[in-house]
A = this chain, B = another copy of it.
Amino acid sequence: MLSTPSVLFVCTTCRAGEEAVEGMPAPGERLAQALAQGNACPDVDVRPTPCLSACTQGCSIALARAGSWTYVYGRLSEADVPEILAGAAAYADSPDGIVPWRQRPVIFRKQSLARIPPLEV
């Protein structure tokens, strides 16, 4: 484990195609709450965030850590919470953010929106 925490950004504004209902949390908000409640990894910081600008790709998340690759995933829902948290813990446990392919949850293998290298060369 590394001393630098990994951040799991969760888009809270995503409606995932659902119509807005007054007083009801958006799908992204529900996903963020479920992830925050379910997270048991001390090296993962679940951070609800308004709009990750991946609006056509359902609920989205991003995994980031200083000096590591950043990964963005989409088309997610509350049903994916256990897999997302397992993937986030594996990310936190990796030295550079790159988790071996077969150790990634299927949703991370199939629902990548983007990855961004660390700024440091």
Contacts and interface: CB of A to CB of B under 8 A. Distances in A.
Contact of A53 (B49, B51, B112): B112
* Copies per complex of this chain: 2
Contact of A114 (B7, B53, B65, B117): B53
Interface in A63-78: 64-66, 70-72, 74
Contact-size category for A: 20 to 34
A2 interface: no
Contacts of A64: 116, 119
Given A53-B71, A70-B70, A113 B114 contact: yes
Interface of A: 7, 9, 47, 49, 51-54, 60, 62, 64-66, 70-72, 74, 112-117, 119
Given A51-B115, A53-B114, 13 more contacts: A47-B117, A52-B115, A53-B71, A53-B115, A54-B113, A54-B114, A60-B114, A62-B114, A62-B116, A64-B116, A70-B116, A114-B114, A116-B116
